[in-house]
């Protein structure tokens, strides 16, 4: 049995178990993620974050889903990591560079009187080429593509924010609220069209500055929030001409702000990062 010290945090309800990998170099992170993220037999979380050193950035983040798969990037998780390292005096910088599988990400801390009040993440430029998302389609851009699952066609708009997303727009908010996401989500996530599976966003545009969004996260299920999903939804809404450059996303766990000025510009996401608890998890490898 290994005692693993952790900090549990959340970004608008998207919760994570954060472990300092600098002191735990030999852990089986995929196995640990499956066990510690279980909400009945573990601590319970939407993901496990391993915080590590980096030779090319200030820190390195690895993010593991509850099914043990490793994700490329997590917008809510990276905000939690940034606040964690600042509050422990591991950095005095207001701007951090954090290495991820999706590449290095710039993080900007809004600090007032020594406390982190908000965090903005440069999520990078969206990718539309199907082969790079990836999606098994010979299209220039996947916009309003009809994809049939369970006898119904959903019009998907696909892009990558360092991880794959399929965004679906509904005419009315009520359709999003009533949608059986737990049934349709996994069918879309694991559709053969997506060789690495996909995250799925279900959206209704309320006005030119507001989007209501629910999300089915790849390897997780429906979550209260998804930072990269909020960015993908904003970009998709913009290329449809539905919203302005600055948008508020209303998620099940709270709100996120997203700003995108156009195709060749990066997407900026702003939101909170809050603590839940500190503790020790009794990890039994291979059990």
Active site members: 74, 226
65 vs 50, 59, 98, 206, CA distance in Å?
12, 20, 19, 31
Q: CA 143 to CA 157: how far, in whole Å?
A: 4
Q: CA 75 to CA 252: how far, in whole Å?
A: 16
According to DSSP, the residues that pair with 70 across neighbouring strands are 64
Which among 52, 70, 72 is positioned nearest to 60, based on CA atoms? 52
Q: What is the DSSP letter of 222?
A: E
Q: CA 118 to CA 271: how far, in whole Å?
A: 6
Which among 243, 182, 223 is positioned nearest to 71, based on CA atoms? 223
With contact defined as beta carbons under 8 Å apart, do 31 and 60 qualify? no
With contact defined as beta carbons under 8 Å apart, do 31 and 67 qualify? no
Q: CA 265 to CA 60: how far, in whole Å?
A: 24
Q: What is the DSSP letter of 40?
A: T
Which among 4, 21, 15 is positioned nearest to 217, based on CA atoms? 15
Q: What is the DSSP letter of 261?
A: -
């Amino acid at each position: 049995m290994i005692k693993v010290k952790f900090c549990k945090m959340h970004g608008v309800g998207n919760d994570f178990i954060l472990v300092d990998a600098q002191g735990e170099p030999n852990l089986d992170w995929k196995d640990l993620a499956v066990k510690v993220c279980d909400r009945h037999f573990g601590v319970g979380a939407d993901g496990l974050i391993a915080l590590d050193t980096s030779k090319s950035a200030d820190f390195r983040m690895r993010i593991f889903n509850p099914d043990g798969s490793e994700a490329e990037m997590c917008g809510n998780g990276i905000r939690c990591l940034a606040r964690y390292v600042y509050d422990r005096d591991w950095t005095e910088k207001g701007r951090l560079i954090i290495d991820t599988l999706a590449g290095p990400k710039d993080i900007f801390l809004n600090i007032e009187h020594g406390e982190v009040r908000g965090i903005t993440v440069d999520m990078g430029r969206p990718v539309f080429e199907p082969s790079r998302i990836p999606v098994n389609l010979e299209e220039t851009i996947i916009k309003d593509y009809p994809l049939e699952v369970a006898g119904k066609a959903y019009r998907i708009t696909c892009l990558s924010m360092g991880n794959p997303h399929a965004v679906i727009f509904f005419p009315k908010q009520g359709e999003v609220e009533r949608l059986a996401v737990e049934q349709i989500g996994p069918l879309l996530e694991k559709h053969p069209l997506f060789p690495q599976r996909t995250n799925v966003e279900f959206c209704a545009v309320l006005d030119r500055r507001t989007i209501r969004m629910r999300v089915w996260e790849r390897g997780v299920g429906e979550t209260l929030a998804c930072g990269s999903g909020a960015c993908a939804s904003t970009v998709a809404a913009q290329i449809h001409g539905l919203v302005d450059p600055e948008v508020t996303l209303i998620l099940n766990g709270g709100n996120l702000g997203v700003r995108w000025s156009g195709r060749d510009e990066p997407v900026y996401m702003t939101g909170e990062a809050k603590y839940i608890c500190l503790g020790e998890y009794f990890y039994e490898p291979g059990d």
